[in-house]
Amino acid sequence: MSSGLLPLEFLDIGREAVIREVAGGLSLRRRLTDLGLVRGTTIRVIRNDNFGPVIVSLGNSSGGGRLAIGRGMAHKIMVEEAG
Amino acid sequence: MVVAAMAKPEREEIIALVGNPNSGKTSIFNDLTGARQHVGNWPGVTVEKKEGKLIYQGETYNIVDLPGTYSLGAYSEDELIARNFILFDKPEAVINVVDASNLERNLYLTIQLLEMGANIVVALNMVDEARARKIEINIPRLAQALGVPVVPTVATRSEGIKELVAMAASKARETPPQPLLMNYGPEIEAEINKLEQIIKFDPNLSAKYPARWLAIKLLEDDARLQTELQQSGARQVLEQAAKSNKHLGAVLGEEVEAIIADRRYGFINGLVREAVTRRQTLEERLTVSDKIDSIVTNRYLGLPIFILAMRAVFQFTFKLGEPMIGGVETAFAGLTGLVTGWLAALGAPGLLTSFIADGIIGGLGSVLVFIPPIFLLFLAISLLEDSGYMARAAYIMDRLMHTLGLHGKSFVPLLIGFGCNVPGIMATRTLESRKDRMITILINPLMSCTARLPVYVLFTGAFFTANQGWVIFSLYLLGIVLAIIMGKIFKTFLFKGETAPFVMELPPYRVPTLKGTLIHMWERGSSFVRKAGTVIVAAVVLIWVLSNLPLGVEYASQESLIGRLGTILAPIFKPAGFGTWQAAVALLFGILAKEVVVGTLGVLYGVEESGLTAAIAQSWTPLSAYAFMVMTLIYIPCVAAIGAIRRETNSWGWTAFAVGYSLVLGWVMAVLVFQAGKLLGLG
């Protein structure tokens, strides 16, 4: 059993995960909060090419938001893989 | 009674529009105001201010479109403007536009508005899209949970707008509600209470800010409010806030601001669970947008598709624009003839005729020929933007631009600059960070616009017929390389600090509406015409006067003031290999518009444009010609671009800087090219 926390950066395409922690400064966290990337949010990786921003789909139920997240930022978002 | 009514100052009731980017706020604004809108800047900042009039049941309402924001913190200029407008301008009603298919995040802003005690009506927009995604929203229940009216709308088809107007108008007559009371848990509530008491005790503060709201903001560590309070000397509140924050951090084991955000989203989740049902499986949620995205943002296909799209934009703009440019030119030539003849018939003095024909009409014409391509370019860009593709383009380019230290979003304005720097500079409005925006504006003129092309064609035609294409390409490349270098320099020395982290919303693909696209195009295009127009007329008049003084000289000859100025300036360009008064004057006129360089040389050598190549071949060398082209590429943006820089930076200082640095850079590069070439024996 691993602790299961890993940076969003390393999540493969198609995987779902829950955000557990944002390891960043106040302004970074605030920015993410405004966009709906808070603890407990479920995200699904739409695109991750191991370079450039990661694209995620947001929310466990809504079909809505797609966000492109810079790699540096994706490195600081700690997630727990679902399922 | 009468006295009381008269004492109340009359003002038009204000209805503010607030909403997330991509929520359809602009469409609602257009629906509400129709053609009765105008665009300006918020005082002191470059953020666009759109206002319009709404006439409903004989009453006029002033609709103010606040910048699209995700939040009302003070993270960006946009957010601060939206927040301050609601706090200090106290609009009678606020229409909060919410994307029905993306409720959770959109409601985060709604909650903040409610906590501020704004008098809001929710426009639940794009309900058709939500329905198509099988998202069912129980509107009465949502309205009840929020405690405010909720009106379903489809702004692109003007559905629900009448109801929205009626609701907003009746809201505007009501007194604002009590601010929403969210419970942040006993520990935080206790500290909020303490702060509230101090705030209420201070008459200045309580008059300005809602007490509870300010208390929460201070616990959230809002840096802007801290400064505001420091300036107004409210030291006691700040001390208590610092104490509270420290205490809460110790008790709760994490930062207060994170807990506050959690609570708000928790509240929203509960609300959504109650009012929204979804009948969709995971497979169904792989929407059309995702399918398009899997191709368009593909690692290998993304860039080629982007390049093709941009090529299509330019083809569209210039293939369609070229005949129109010709049309405008013909129209201006005709106008000149007409006016000249008419003035002659009236017996007007030659000087007046020349002023009107050569000065005003000729000068304006040389810039106004850009109107067709500018409008077409904006039309194409508005289409791409409204369809949702531009956000993908920024994503694709971020991978490349990142290595250059620039933002992905900076790329599109630079690319547009190849067509014309003016819309390129204006397109920087999509950049959120002021630093990125300033850098992109400052380096935009280094993108070789189409107006420089006639100059290249003339000189390469005279000297480099064998490899004309390569020589011209080298100039474009030089511009790009210099832009990268200057961008890095500006970033290191003028706009220090980290770049805003890259995170952006990718809106779902939508079929753009004709109305929306045309309004976008018109807004951008007409502001070019208006703002650039004033600068251009001033420059035209100045140059014409200089060409005609002292009285009696031949227009634009060496004896005229401008000729003398050219003679004075010529030695400066000697190290660059083109130290003739004609070259200096051509460059001087070129500031008006760079393609004017060609026409000016024609006038000064006293030949038609067809004979110009021969004249050039006689008095220039290949090396000095190349140095001159380098100079033309880099030195001082044309007046229209200067006007755009002035407008977009809202600062004469930065405008002067843009002019100054490019002049120096152009001269240095031209000299470098000429001297290095001479050393290599190319002279």
**String of DSSP letters for B318-376:** HHHHHHHHHHHHHHHHHHHHHHHHHHHHHT--HHHHHIIIIIIIIHHHHHHTTHHHHHH
Contact B671, B620 (CB under 8 A): no
What count of Cα atoms within 13 Å lies in the side-chain half-sphere of residue B308? 6
In B27-134 the beta strands, taken as DSSP E runs, fall at 37-41, 48-56, 59-65, 93-99, 120-125
Whether residues A31 and B101 touch (CB distance < 8 A) is answered with: no
pLDDT single digits (tens) B325-365: 778 878 888 888 888 888 888 888 877 887 787 777 776 77
Which pLDDT value is given to residue B672? 96
Residue B502 contacts A where some CB pair is shorter than 8 Å: yes
Which pLDDT value is given to residue A9? 92
What count of Cα atoms within 13 Å lies in the side-chain half-sphere of residue B274? 14
List the single range of A31-40, B32-41, B145-154, B158-167 with lowest mean pLDDT: B32-41
Residue A25 contacts B where some CB pair is shorter than 8 Å: no
pLDDT at B381 over 90: no
Please name every residue paired with B591 in a beta bridge, in sequence order, or none if there are none: none
Per DSSP bridges, beta strands A42-47 and A16-22 are: antiparallel
Which pLDDT value is given to residue A19? 92
Contact A15, A39 (CB under 8 A): no
State the smallest CA–CA distance between residue A2 and chain B in angstroms. 24
Q: CA B209 to CA B492: how far, in whole Å? A: 39
State the smallest CA–CA distance between residue A18 and chain B in angstroms. 14
Cα of first residue to Cα of last residue in chain B, in angstroms, is 90
Contacts of B506 in chain A (CB under 8 A): 55, 66-68
Which pLDDT value is given to residue B240? 94
Whether residues A55 and B395 touch (CB distance < 8 A) is answered with: yes
Q: Which of B263, B294, B269, B80 is nearest to B180 (CA)?
A: B263
State the smallest CA–CA distance between residue B404 and chain A in angstroms. 13
Of A36, A39, A47, the CB nearest to B105: A36
Of B459 and B606, which is predicted with more confidence?
B459
Of A2 and B110, which is predicted with more confidence?
B110
Cα of first residue to Cα of last residue in chain A, in angstroms, is 14
Please name every residue paired with A5 in a beta bridge, in sequence order, or none if there are none: A80
Residue B291 contacts A where some CB pair is shorter than 8 Å: no
Whether residues A61 and B265 touch (CB distance < 8 A) is answered with: no
What is the signed CA dihedral for B42, B43, B45, B49, rounded to 10 degrees?
10
Average pLDDT over residues B591-613: 75
Q: Which of B172, B242, B243, B228 is nearest to B11 (CA)?
A: B172
Q: CA B379 to CA B35: how far, in whole Å? A: 18
Q: Where are the alpha helices (DSSP H) in B571-651?
A: 581-590, 596-605, 609-619, 622-634, 639-649
Average pLDDT over residues B125-130: 90
| Cis before B550? omega within 30 | yes
Band of pLDDT at residue B1, cut at 50, 70 and 90 = very low
pLDDT single digits (tens) B159-201: 999 999 999 999 999 888 889 998 999 999 999 999 999 999 9
**Which residues lie below 8 Å from residue B616, measured CB to CB, with a gap of 6+?**
B458, B459, B462, B601, B605, B625
Contacts of A61 in chain B (CB under 8 A): 272, 278
Q: Which of B213, B211, B203 is nearest to B233 (CA)?
A: B203
pTM score: 0.77
Band of pLDDT at residue A75, cut at 50, 70 and 90 = very high
Contacts of B70 in chain A (CB under 8 A): 34-35
Give me chain B's average pLDDT, please.
85
Q: CA B383 to CA B388: how far, in whole Å? A: 9
What count of Cα atoms within 13 Å lies in the side-chain half-sphere of residue B151? 23
Percent with pLDDT over 70 in chain B: 91
pLDDT at B673 over 90: yes
Of B659 and B590, which is predicted with more confidence?
B659
- In the three-class reduction of DSSP (H, G, I as helix; E, B as strand; rest coil), residue B49 is classed as strand
